[in-house]
């Protein structure tokens, strides 16, 4: 399942220097409806791309949406930070 969305980068209030974007509600519902192997914290494995940077990670349930962690290396490579809007290509993996 591939998804493209634009979202604002925010810093997690529980931990400084941890940055995320939220997957919008509609694609989050589509992701949560698909059967998958259970993973820690209800996470879903994904491949994410922002600009020219692609990485493997997991998205985590956060209310009715999922949160995608944005690695510091991605922020630096793409020249973005807290408060910036970015376009994300997300490939949710089945396994």
CA 11 to each of CA 5, 6, 30, 62, 84: distance values in angstroms, whole numbers, following the listed order:
19, 16, 25, 14, 11
**pLDDT digit string, tens, across residues 4-40:** 999 999 998 777 889 999 999 999 999 988 766 667 7
pLDDT at position 13: 79
pLDDT at position 38: 63
pLDDT (mean) for 55-77 = 95
Write down the H helix ranges in the chain: 25-33, 72-78
Model confidence at 58, pLDDT cuts 50, 70, 90, reads: very high
pLDDT at position 32: 87
What's the burial of 51, exposed, middle or buried (CB within 10 Å: 0-12/13-18/19+)?
Answer: middle
More confident residue, 88 or 95: 88
pLDDT at position 35: 65
């Amino acid at each position: 399942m591939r998804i493209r969305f634009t979202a604002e980068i925010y810093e997690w209030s529980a931990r400084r220097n941890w940055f995320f974007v939220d997957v919008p509600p509609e694609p989050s519902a589509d992701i949560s409806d698909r059967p998958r192997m259970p993973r820690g914290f209800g996470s879903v494995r994904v491949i994410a791309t922002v600009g020219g940077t692609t990485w493997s990670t997991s998205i985590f349930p956060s209310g009715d949406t999922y949160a995608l962690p944005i690695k510091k290396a991605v922020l630096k490579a793409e020249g973005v930070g807290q408060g910036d809007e970015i376009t994300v290509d997300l490939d949710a993996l089945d396994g």
